[in-house]
Homo-oligomer: A and B are copies of this chain.
Amino acid sequence: MPVFLSQDDALALWREALCSSVRDDGPDLSARQMSILLTVYTLAPPHTVRGLSESLNISKPAVSRALDRLGTLGYIRRRRDDYDRRSVQIQRTVKGAVFLSEFADIVSRAGRELQSPTPFEAGVPS
């Protein structure tokens, strides 16, 4: 079901979740790295370097490097495709699933704690 968020709520939700993750010493992933990780874990496989590169509009080497980083963190694994041995399939790991599960909790909690009154108007500088 759809969820309707005002601009202020959207930013407050994002801030609360992101700051919580940062405060708890979560890995400092870039937007690209996080989007790759989420794509691999929430959309149907198979996931390849080329597919991620095209769907996210990122260069192939950038995807490859992001996978290096996510692999170092233990969040994904590369596996050669047996039917097309040029290809590599990106696979999920238990550690990555745990990380995203905890992250989802943080986002859920941030949503639950949303207050209606705008903390401060997102306006222009004085």
Tallying the copies of this chain within the complex gives 2
Is the CB of A7 closer than 8 A to any CB of chain B?
Answer: yes
State which of B19, B51, B93, B112 has its C-beta within 8 Å of the C-beta of A38.
B19
A interface residue numbers (CB < 8 A to B): 1-15, 17-19, 21-23, 25-32, 34-35, 38-39, 41-48, 51, 55-58, 77, 91-94, 97, 100-101, 103-105, 107-108, 111-116, 119-120, 122-126
A57–chain B nearest beta-carbon distance, Å: 5
5 A-B residue pairs with Cβ-Cβ distance under 8 Å, sorted by A, are: A10-B111, A15-B35, A15-B43, A77-B125, A93-B125
Check B123–A92 contact: CB distance below 8 A.
yes
Check A108–B5 contact: CB distance below 8 A.
yes
